[in-house]
């Protein structure tokens, strides 16, 4: 960086693919070719699209956590029932 370069704490890039979908990366050294300047609408759509992906990912993570907890709970219930049945039969 030169002395004139602004300093930032962090950076990321949101780019629109030719098919209109958006791509985000924290690797600011990613090489790509830009065909045109971004419009205000591009920026708005891109940030909304990436935010939706993040929120969906967060929602997916929350749902998966709940599913895993329920599965674990069911497994623990089954294990407990089996142990109790074996104990009642004097096996454990």
Phi, psi of 67 (to 5 degrees): -60, -45
Q: Per residue of the chain (92 residues), give pLDDT as tens.
A: 556 788 999 988 888 999 988 888 888 888 889 999 999 999 999 889 888 888 888 877 777 777 777 777 777 777 877 888 778 777 76
Domain ranges of the chain: 13-88
- Residue labelled with tokens 């674990």: 72
Model pTM? 0.53
Return the biggest CA–CA distance within the chain.
81
**Using CA atoms, how far apart are residues 54 and 14, in angstroms rounded to an integer?**
13
């Amino acid at each position: 960086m030169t002395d004139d370069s602004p300093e930032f704490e962090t950076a990321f890039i949101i780019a629109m693919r030719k098919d209109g979908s958006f791509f985000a990366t924290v690797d600011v050294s990613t090489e790509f070719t830009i065909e045109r300047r971004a419009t205000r609408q591009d920026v708005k759509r891109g940030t909304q699209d990436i935010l939706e992906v993040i929120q969906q990912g967060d929602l997916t993570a929350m749902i998966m956590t709940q599913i895993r907890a329920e599965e674990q709970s069911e497994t623990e219930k089954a294990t407990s029932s089996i142990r109790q049945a074996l104990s009642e039969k004097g096996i454990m």
